[in-house]
Amino acid sequence: MQFSEEQVLALAPDEASRKSGKELSNPTKWVSKGANRQALWGECQGSGSKPYQTQIDLSNIAFKCSCPSRKFPCKHGLGLLLLYARQQQSFTTDELPAWVQEWISKRAGTAEKKVEPKDKPVDEAAQAKRMQAREQKVSDGIEELLLWIKDIVRNGILNIPEKSPAFWENMAKRMVDAQAPGLAGMIRELSNTNFYNEGWQTKFIDQLVRIYLLIQAYKNSNSLDELLQADIKSLIGFTQSVEELKAQSGVKDDWFVLGKQVTQEDQLMVERNWLYGIHTKQYALVLQFFVRNQLLTTTLTPGVTINAELIFYPSCTPLRALVKQQFSIKTNIPVDGLASWNEVAMLETNYNRYNPFINAYPFVIDALKPVQLNNQWWLKDKENKLMRIEDNFSNIWRLLAISGGETLQLAVTGKENNYAPIGVWYHATYILL
């Protein structure tokens, strides 16, 4: 299995780990090392008398190390994988040591337990009663939110930038109390409007209208398509049983990992993994929620292709998915993208026809070039059509350095007239931005 240095370094939790990992990619740092199709392992001599035992599961990239670091992966895991990427031929031992075999076997056993069906009976009456109580709480909460929105409209938005943080946070907390965390997040997004930017009024009203439209859709959901109802409930904050989803059959494909975005929401870290199906040409978003230093159940590496079965959440425009089974990892598989921005617009028009609530979508586009016009950065396609790069994109100079004025195949996320590049193909190598 092949890894590029770029792919390995993209796994680093911070810059310090990235730097230390590079230092530990020296073969002289390792007392022993080995690899086979299942795993990669090595013993790194530290300051103590016993070397640190480092191991990597190659079937579903996961790390374990005997060092005391709470970072994931630690510098030893990064160093070992980086050394493997540079000098794969130096890993001559292929028989798993006992300490590696034990870990690999435990991981396989855990995976088997996860797919075992649960025979515990479900009290459907109690479940229906709980759902009815929650729906009532949500309905009560959105009536208050609807009044709050109408007050904003009646009073006008001239003085909105002067509102205190409590004005937004109190209503967001009320939505949390009403068990509608999705609406709470939309209110916080509304409060994060950059009131110093020219044209903030348009973005503010767009988000306010989006919240209002969602409220009205929820109140009238019984008259809507069943899949759109699922989208609306998901946006409000209702969750779907993972066990029920995994009982369904999924979509098997070679899934290319386009990018990974990690943000903090309240006390949780949210990891967004964007995937593209090589054969189905279907996009997917795998979300994972965790607290800092917690080990994730699934590790997805940008630039790597996984052969896997994905289960998509019910939606009239399926995007969010979970990984049901992962079979193998592949590298250097070409990705077919869209030809122009016109094709992107046609796809978005079709998505919005069925689901007007889409927030952002990924796209792979074959030939784009970053250009500057009126002090704004744009992406120009081969038909000379332009689309804006979103204002908070911070890696424009890196993208320009890679491009060198030439067109490149890019992966982007966004909607309507603003997009952010997340990765670029350069000489058949995928580089994360």
**Domain boundary residue, one of 186, 205, 236:** 236
Model-level pTM?
Answer: 0.73
Structural domain contains residue 124? no
38 and 69 assigned to the same domain: yes
Structural domain contains residue 249? yes
274 and 321 assigned to the same domain: yes
314 and 224 assigned to the same domain: no
216 and 149 assigned to the same domain: yes
Structural domain contains residue 421? yes
Containing structural domain, residue 264: 242-330
**Domain boundary residue, one of 236, 263, 284:** 236
315 and 370 assigned to the same domain: no
8 Å CB contact between 396 and 377: yes
159 and 250 assigned to the same domain: no
Structural domain contains residue 101? yes
Scan for tokens 């070679």, then name that residue. Answer: 254
pLDDT digits (tens, 9 = 90+) for 79-130: 999 999 888 888 877 788 899 888 888 877 665 555 555 555 667 788 788 8
CATH of the domain at 269: 2.40.50
271 and 369 assigned to the same domain: no
Structural domain contains residue 126? no
Structural domain contains residue 77? yes
361 and 318 assigned to the same domain: no
3-class DSSP state of 135: helix
Tens-digit pLDDT profile for the chain (433 aa)?
Answer: 667 777 788 778 788 888 999 999 998 999 999 998 888 999 998 877 889 999 988 877 788 899 988 787 889 989 999 999 888 888 877 788 899 888 888 877 665 555 555 555 667 788 788 888 999 999 999 999 999 999 999 999 999 999 999 999 999 999 999 999 999 999 999 999 999 888 899 999 999 999 999 999 999 999 999 999 999 999 999 988 888 898 899 999 999 999 988 887 766 778 899 999 999 999 999 998 876 655 566 778 888 899 999 999 999 999 999 999 888 777 778 899 999 999 999 999 999 999 988 888 999 999 999 999 988 999 999 999 999 999 889 899 999 999 988 999 999 999 988 899 999 999 888 888 8
**Domain boundary residue, one of 330, 362, 385:** 330
The per-type count for the chain, helices as H runs and strands as E runs, is 12, 15
8 Å CB contact between 293 and 70: yes
262 DSSP β-pair partners: 271
Number of domains in the chain: 4
Structural domain contains residue 54? yes
138 and 227 assigned to the same domain: yes
206 and 136 assigned to the same domain: yes
Scan for tokens 């670091």, then name that residue. Answer: 69
Rounded to whole angstroms, the Cα distance separating 210 from 365 reads 28
268 and 303 assigned to the same domain: yes
13 and 104 assigned to the same domain: yes
Structural domain contains residue 372? yes
